[in-house]
Structure 1
Amino acid sequence: MAFAPWKSIPGWLVLWALNLFSGIALIYEGYNQGVMGSVNSIPGYIDKMQIGTNGKITNVTKQGGIVAVYYFGAMFGCFTGGRLADRSGRKLAIIVGSLFAVVGGSLQAGAQNSDMILCARVIAGFGIGFINTVTPAWVSELAVAHTRGASFALVFCANYTGITIAYWIGYGLKNYSTSFRWRFPLAFQVVPTVILLLTVWFLPESPRWLMAKGRRSEAVEILAKIRGDVPLEDPGLMAEIEQLDATVESSNHKRYRFCNVTFGRHSGKLHLGRRVALAVGIMLMMEWTGILAITVYASTLFSQAGYDSNKAGWLSGLVNTIGVPATIAGIFTIDRFGRRISMYFGFSIQSVALFLSAGLGRLGQLNPDGAAAYGAASVSMVFIFTFFFAQTVLMIAFFYPTEIWPQEIRAFGNSYAVFGWAVGCGITTLVIPSMFASLQWKTLMVFASFNIACLPLVYLFFPETNGRTLEEINLLFMADSPLVFANEKAFADRLSQAGGDMAEAERRLAAELDAPENKVAHV
C-alpha cells in the first residue's frame, strides 16, 4: 500500500469515490446494452453489416446474433474475472476487464463487416464479464448491512444512466446520413472504461478481500476509513472485524474448485451448489421478464404500436430514461421492504403491465379508427413496466448474488450470476427479433407469463438477505432442504444454540467446516 492517496481524504469522501467509481463501471454495462437498440435500426449499419438491404432488415437471425454474441464473451469473462478478483484483488480484475472493453469498443467502432463486429463484441463481452462480476461484489463488501441495498441502488442508477445516454445519443444523431451516425455511439462506450483505468489506481482495495488474504492490518485501516474515520476501538468497527475474523478461511479449499462449486460437491453445510442455482436462476428470471424487448429493441416495439421512426426513436430514449428515477426510488424501498417483497411486487406489476400492453396493442390493430389512442395506452404500460422493473427486479437480480457467497469466493461466486445474465441476455436478444416478426403483440404475452412463473420460485427458494451482514448469510444455507422456511428455521436454531451471539454462531460454523473430516479437502 505504498501508493495510497486515499489516506489523506476524509473517509466519507473515500466511500463516495468508491461508489462513484462503481457507478461508472455500471454506466459502461448499461450503455453497451442500450447502444445496440439505437444502432440496430440505422440504415448505414444495416447495409454495412449485411443484415438487410436498402436500410431494411431482412435477416433477423443475424441481427439478433450480432447483439447476442457480446454475451457469449461475457460467459467466459465472468469466470476468469471472478477467479482473478478473488486471487489478486478487485482492482486488478477491473483493470484487466477495462482493457478488454476498450479494445472491443474500439474495434466495434471501426468495424468494416459483420465478421469484424462479431469478433469485437466477443472481446467487449469478455471485458464486461470482468466488470459485471467484480463491481457488484465490491459494492456489497463496502456497505453496512442495514443500508447495503440502498447503497447498491444508488450506484445502480448508473446502469440506466448508461442505457439512457446510449438512446439519446442515437436519437441526437438521427439526421446524420454518414457512418458517423452509428460509429460514434459504438466508439463512445470506450469513455467510461478509460475513466476506470485512470482512476482505479487511486482507490483502496476491498477490506473484506484483504482480510481473506491475511492482510488484516490493511483491511482494518481501510474499514475504519470508509466507516467515517472511526477510531480502531469503535464498538461498531470492532464488531464488524470480529465477524470477519470468525468467518475467514482459505480460498484454496477443495470445495472452492470450479467443478465442486458448480455441482455443490464437498461443500457440506455451505450448500454451494444451491447458491449457484439461485445466482444463475435470479438472472435468468430477470432477463426473461421482457426487459430486453424494451432495452435493445424498443424502436421495433414502438414501431409495431403504430409510431413513425422519429417518434419511436424519442420514445425509446424516454422509456429508458425513466429507469433512472425508478432506480432512485429503489433506494427508499429495497431495504425497507426487503428483497423478497420487492420481487413479489415487481414481478406482479410487470406481468399485468405486459398483458395490458399486448392487449391494447392488439385492440389498436383491430380498431384502426382508435389505433392512436390504443397505441398510446399500450406504450404507457411499457413505461409502467420499466419503472417498476428498474425499482425492484433489476437491482435485486444484480445485487442478491453478491450477498449469498462466502467471502473467500464472493467475486468468483458472483461469476455464476453474470453467467446467468449472459445466457439470459444472449438467448433473449437472439430470439426477440424472430418473436416480434412471427408473434408480434403476442411476444409481450409470452414475457408476461414468465413474470407470473417467477412468483412461486421466489416464495419457495430465495431466502431474505435484507438486514443481515455478509458473514451472517452463510447461516442461511444450513438446512439440507432448499426451501426458504427450512433454512430460516436452521438459521434461528443455530443462533439460539450460540446464545443469540451471532459471532459465536459463525465461529461454531467455521469450526464445523474445519473439522478433521473436512481438513483433508484442502488443496
Structure 2
Amino acid sequence: MAPGVAATAGSAEGFMHLVDPNRKWYNNKRLITLHAWLVLLLITSSTNGFDGSLMNSLQSMTQWETFFHKPEGPTLGLLNAIQNIGSLAGYPFAPYLSDGIGRRPSIWIGAVCMLAGAALQTACQNIHQFIGARFLIGFGLSLASNAAPMLVTEVSYPVYRPQLSSLYNTLWYSGNIIASWSAFGTSRINSNWSWRIPSLLQAIPSFFQFFLIWFVPESPRWLVSKGKETQALHTLAYYHADGDESDPLVLYEFEEIKAAIKMDREAKDRVGWLALVTSRGNRKRIGIIIAIAWFSQWSGNGLVSYYLNQVFDTIGITNTDIQLLITGILAIWNLFWAVFASFQVDRWGRRFLFLTSACGMTLFFTLQTICSAQYALHGTQAAAHAVIAFIFLFYAAYDLAFTPLIVSYTLEILPYSLRAKGFNVFNFTISLALIFNQYVNPIALKNIGWKYYLVYCCWLGFETVYLYFFIVETKGLTLEETAALFDGEDATQLQKVAHQAADVRHEDYDEKSSKPEDA
C-alpha cells in the first residue's frame, strides 16, 4: 500500500446499497430544489474570486491608477492584502457563529457586511475609503465562507456530496470571470465608472443571499447538535427521500449523524480548540489541512492571481487591452478545468488528483521559469509567448486538485465537533499565505524579476513529496465515515451503530404501517 493510502474496501458499502438507483438529481423535484438552494451557497466563493481578479484588472486600468495616484510598492501590497486582513479580523468570530446560531444566520450576517463593503468601494472618494471597503468585504467573507461550504457538505444528498462540495471553491472562477470581463468592457469608459461598475457587481452574490438564505435548509448535523432531532430527520427525509422518514438511507444518515455527535461529546479530547492537536488522528488532520491551505496559495499561482500585469511586464507585454484579454481568457480556462476535476473526485480519487496536480505544476512552472529567464537574458520573443502557454498549462494542473479539493477534502476529514474550528484554521492559513504573498511578491518581482520564480520551483518539489506521504484516500465514504477514518476503529463502529439503529427504526415503521387503523 502506498504511503498515505487508506484501505476503504467494504466501507464503501456503508450507504451505497441503500441509495434508490432511480433517484437522480435531474428527475427528482426535491433534489432539483435542494441543488438550486445549494447554488446560492456555492456562489459565496464567487465573491472571493471576483475580488482577486478585480484587483488584478484594476491595476491594468489607467483610470483607476490615475484616481489613486498610481499606488506601488507597500501601498499596492496593502491594497491587495487588506481584504485578507479583514478576513483575519473575522476568523475569531466565524466558528462560534457557525456552531452557535447556525450556518444560515452566519451566511446572512456575512452577506450584510459584504454588501456594505461593496457599496463603500463603489462610492469611495479616496484610497482610505477603498481600503476600508475591502477590509469590510474581507470581514464579511470570513463569516460567510466559514458557514456556506459546511452547509453544502452537510445537507447534500450523499451520492452528490463530493462533487457539490468540490464545486464550492471551483466557483471562485465564476466571480473571476465576471470581474475579468466586466473590467475588460468598462475599461473603455473614460471616467471613474470604469472601475466603479465592476466594484458594484461584486455585491451580486451577497444581494441574493441576503434575501434568499432563509429558504435554504439548515444543516441536519447542526440541528442534531442542538437537540432538534425531529427537525433534522424531517430535513433529511424531505430532500433525500421525498419526505419518507422510514427510507433506509435517511435512517442510516440520521443514526450515523447522531452516533458521531454522541461519540464526540462523550470523548472530552474531541471538543474545543486543543482537540485539534491532542490526538494522533487530529494532529494528522490539522497537519494536512494547514499544508494544503498553504500550498494552495504558495505554488506560484499567487503571482498570476494578483500580479499578472507585473508578470506581463517582465516578458514585454505592456498593452492594457492585451493584458485584460489574457486575464479574461485565463479565467474561463481555469473554470473549465476546475469543474471537470470536480466531477472526477469519486472516479479518480483525491490522492490521484492531488499528486497529478503537484507533478504538473512543478513541471510547467519550471518551464515557465526557464522561458522567463530566456526572455530576460536574451530578449527572445518566442520565450515570452511560451511563458503565456506555460501559465495556462500550469493552471490546468493546479485546477485538478487545488481548486476543487482543498475545501471539500478539509471539510470531509473533520468530525462535526471540530469542523467549524478546523475549517477556520484552514481559512486563517490561506489568509496568512495570501498576505505574505501580496506583500512579498511585488517587491520580489520588482527587485529580482524572473529569479524569484526559482523559489517556487523548489517549493513545488517539496509539495509533491509531502502530498505523496500524507494525503489519505477518502472516496466511497459518508461524511461521518470519512472523518472517522483518521481515528482507527471509529469508522467501523459508526457503521455498525448506524446500521443497527436504522434497521431497528425501519422495523418499527414496518410494524406500525402493517397494523390496521382503529375503527
Q: What interval of TM-score do these two structures reach, taking the shorter chain for normalisation?
A: 0.7 to 0.9
Q: Cα distance 1:32–1:98, how it changes in 2: closer, same or farther (>3 A)?
A: same
| Partners of 1:254 and 1:182 in 2: CA distance | 52
Identify the match of residue 289 of structure 1 among 299, 303, 323: 299
Pick closer, same or farther for the CA change 1:500–1:309 going to 2, 3 Å.
Answer: closer
Q: Which residue of structure 1 aligns with residue 207 of structure 2?
A: 194
Write the deviation string for residues 128-158 of structure 1: whole angstroms up to 9, x where unpaired.
Answer: 1112211221121123555432122344442
**Matched residues in 1 for 2:483 and 2:286: separation?**
14
Q: Verify the 8 A CA contact 1:69 1:118 in the aligned structure 2.
A: yes
2:321 counterpart SS class: helix
The one-letter code matched in structure 1 to 2:253 is E
Residue 139 of structure 1 corresponds to 152
Structure 2 CA distance for aligned equivalents of residues 495 and 251 of structure 1: 16
- 1:340 corresponds to: 351
The percentage of counterpart residues that share the same residue type is 23
How many Å apart are 1:21 and its aligned residue?
A: 0.7
The residue that corresponds to 1:444 in the other structure is 453
Alignment partner of 1:68 out of 68, 71, 81: 81
Question: Equivalent of 1:16, from 11, 22, 35?
Answer: 35
Q: Distance in 2 between matches of 1:399 and 1:76?
A: 24
Bigger shift: 313-322 or 116-125?
Answer: 116-125
For 1:398-417, what aligned pairs fall within 5 Å after superposition? 398-417=407-426
Structure 2 residue 36 is matched with structure 1 residue 41: no
Give yes or no for the alignment of 1:183 onto 2:196: yes
Q: Secondary structure at the match of 1:119?
A: helix
Change (3 A) 1:331 1:259: closer
- Cα distance in 2 for residues equivalent to 1:233 and 1:438: 67
Displacement of 1:230: 5.5
- Distance in 2 (CA, whole Å) between partners of 1:251 and 1:17 is 34
Q: Distance in 2 between matches of 1:85 and 1:500?
A: 27
Q: CA deviation at 1:435?
A: 1.9
Instruction: Note the C-alpha offset of 1:417.
Output: 0.8
Residue equivalent to 1:311 = 322
Aligned to 2:469: 460
Please give the per-residue CA displacement for 1:171-215, whole angstroms capped at 9, x wherever unaligned.
Answer: 112222321112221222112111111110212111121122111
Q: Aligned to 2:435, which of 398, 403, 426?
A: 426
1:34 CA displacement = 1.2
2:233 corresponds to which residue? 220
Bigger Cα displacement from structure 2, 351-360 vs 458-467 = 458-467
Residues 389-427 of structure 1: CA deviation (Å, up to 9, x unaligned): 123212211222111222134223211111111111111
Ranges in structure 2 where 5+ consecutive residues have no aligned partner: 1-27, 503-519
Taking the aligned partners of 2:491 and 2:480, their CA distance within structure 1 comes to 13
> Are 2:370 and 1:359 aligned?
yes
- 3-state SS, counterpart of residue 43 of structure 2: helix
Q: How many residues align?
A: 473
* Pairing 1:327–2:341 present: no
Quick one: which amino acid aligns to residue 316 of structure 1?
T
Which residue identity lines up with residue 341 of structure 1 in the other structure? F
Cα distance in 2 between the residues matched to 1:75 and 1:277: 20
Alpha-carbon spacing, 1:474–1:499, altered in 2? closer, same or farther (3 Å): closer
Q: Which residue of 2 aligns with 1:153?
A: 166
Q: For 1:211 and 1:82, how far apart are their aligned partners in 2?
A: 17
In structure 1, distance between residues paired with 2:499 and 2:245: 21
In 2 relative to 1, CA 506–312 (structure 1 residues): closer, same or farther, beyond 3 Å?
farther
TM-score of the aligned structures, taking structure 2 as reference length:
0.85
Does the residue aligned with 2:106 lie in a helix, a strand or coil? helix
| Structure 1 residue 504: Cα displacement | 7.7
Per-residue CA distance 1:59-100 (angstroms, 9 max, x = gap): 322101111111111123233122111111110000011111
Distance 1:500 1:253 in 2: 18
User: Who is 2:115 aligned against?
Assistant: 102
Asked if 1 retains the 8 angstrom alpha-carbon contact of 2:297 and 2:430, the reply is yes
Corresponding residue for 1:278? 288
1:501 aligns with 2:496: yes
Q: CA deviation at 1:40?
A: 2.0
Counterpart pick for 1:260 among 259, 266, 274: 274
Shift of 1:33: 1.4
Say which is worse superposed, 129-138 or 85-94, in terms of deviation: 129-138
* Alpha-carbon spacing, 1:414–1:226, altered in 2? closer, same or farther (3 Å): same
Matched-pair contact (CA < 8 Å) for 2:168–2:404 = no
Shift of 1:261: 4.1
1:79 counterpart SS class:
coil
Indicate if the aligned counterparts of 1:144 and 1:469 stay in contact, CA closer than 8 A: no
Give the counterpart letter for 1:306 in structure 2.
Answer: G
The alignment partner of 2:455 has SS state of: helix
Paired residue for 1:469?
478
User: CA–CA distance in 1 between the matches of 2:330 and 2:92?
Assistant: 33
> Deviations along 1:1-41, whole A, 9 cap, x unmatched?
xxxxxxxx931122212221122212112111111111123
Cα distance between partner residues in 1 of 2:270 and 2:201: 38
Q: Classify 1:251/1:444 alpha carbon distance in 2 versus 1 (closer, same or farther; 3 Å).
A: farther
Question: 2: CA distance between counterparts of 1:121 and 1:256?
Answer: 36
Which of 232, 238, 243 lines up with 2:245 in the alignment? 232
> How far apart, CA to CA, are the structure 2 residues paired with 1:172 and 1:243?
51
TM-score under structure 1 normalisation? 0.84
Q: Name the Cα RMSD after superposition.
A: 2.6
Identify which of 386, 409, 421 aligns with 1:377: 386
CA contact (8 A) 2:412 2:483 kept: no
- Cα contact 1:61–1:431 (8 A) shared by 2: no
In 2, distance between residues paired with 1:237 and 1:500? Answer: 14
Q: Give the letter aligned to residue 399 of structure 1.
A: S
Q: Is the 8 A contact 1:98 1:193 kept in 2?
A: yes
Q: Is the 8 A contact 1:74 1:422 kept in 2?
A: yes
Shifted more, 87-96 versus 133-142: the winner is: 133-142
CA distance in 2, matches of 1:34, 1:159: 10
**Distance in structure 2 (CA, Å) of the matches to 1:169 and 1:252:** 53
Q: Is 2:90 aligned against 1:81?
A: no
